[in-house]
């Protein structure tokens, strides 16, 4: 049995906010055509062989049932000039289809919406789903990548705000 924490959820969120994260847009579609479009900052690569990534989503998200009913999912890495997409995809009360209104997209494999203006896209099949607390960890077997080289830094989230690096990393 876990001991009672010595902090509340607001304090926990504030502490976690001190770690900068990248910002992604996740899209999916069910066989019936219901679309998910959401902003996710809990994304990481898991494995190179086979290519595998993960992201986390809360179980009370309106997108959760769509993600669970979708075989294919796409993760879009956003650039600093795509804050509008991140904000739109994070808007409560809109369906996935409504969130895509006014956003440039094309249908990808099995109809999954792909955002061609993003610097990088990873698409693949939903693999494992692991429940932990009020979130699920969704593992994705990546079978497609799209890279659009750009000098625009990636969009990040830090202490409750969108931020961007002051300059791109050198190679």
Report the chain (171 residues): mean pLDDT per 10 consecutive residues: 82 82 95 96 95 96 94 96 96 94 92 96 96 96 94 90 68 53
Q: What is the pLDDT of residue 171?
A: 53
Q: What is the pLDDT of residue 37?
A: 98
* CA 26, chain centre distance (Å): 4
Q: What are phi and psi of 111, to 5 degrees?
A: 85, 0
Q: What is the pLDDT of residue 83?
A: 95
Q: Are 28 and 125 in contact (CB under 8 A)?
A: no
Q: Does this model's pTM top 0.85? A: yes
């Amino acid at each position: 049995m876990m001991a009672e924490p010595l902090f509340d959820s607001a304090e926990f969120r504030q502490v976690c906010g001190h770690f900068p994260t990248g910002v992604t847009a996740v899209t999916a579609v069910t066989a019936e055509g219901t679309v998910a479009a959401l902003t996710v900052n809990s994304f990481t690569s898991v494995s190179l062989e086979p290519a595998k990534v993960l992201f986390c989503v809360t179980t009370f998200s309106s997108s959760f049932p769509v993600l669970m009913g979708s075989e294919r999912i796409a993760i879009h890495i956003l650039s600093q000039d795509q804050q509008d997409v991140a904000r739109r995809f994070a808007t409560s009360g809109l369906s996935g289809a409504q969130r895509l209104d006014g956003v440039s997209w094309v249908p990808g494999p099995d109809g999954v919406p792909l955002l061609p203006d993003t610097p990088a896209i990873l698409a693949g099949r939903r693999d494992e789903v692991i429940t932990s607390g009020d979130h699920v960890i969704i593992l994705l077997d990546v079978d497609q990548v799209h890279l659009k080289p750009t000098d625009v830094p990636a969009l990040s989230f830090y202490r409750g705000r969108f931020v961007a690096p002051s300059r791109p990393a050198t190679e």
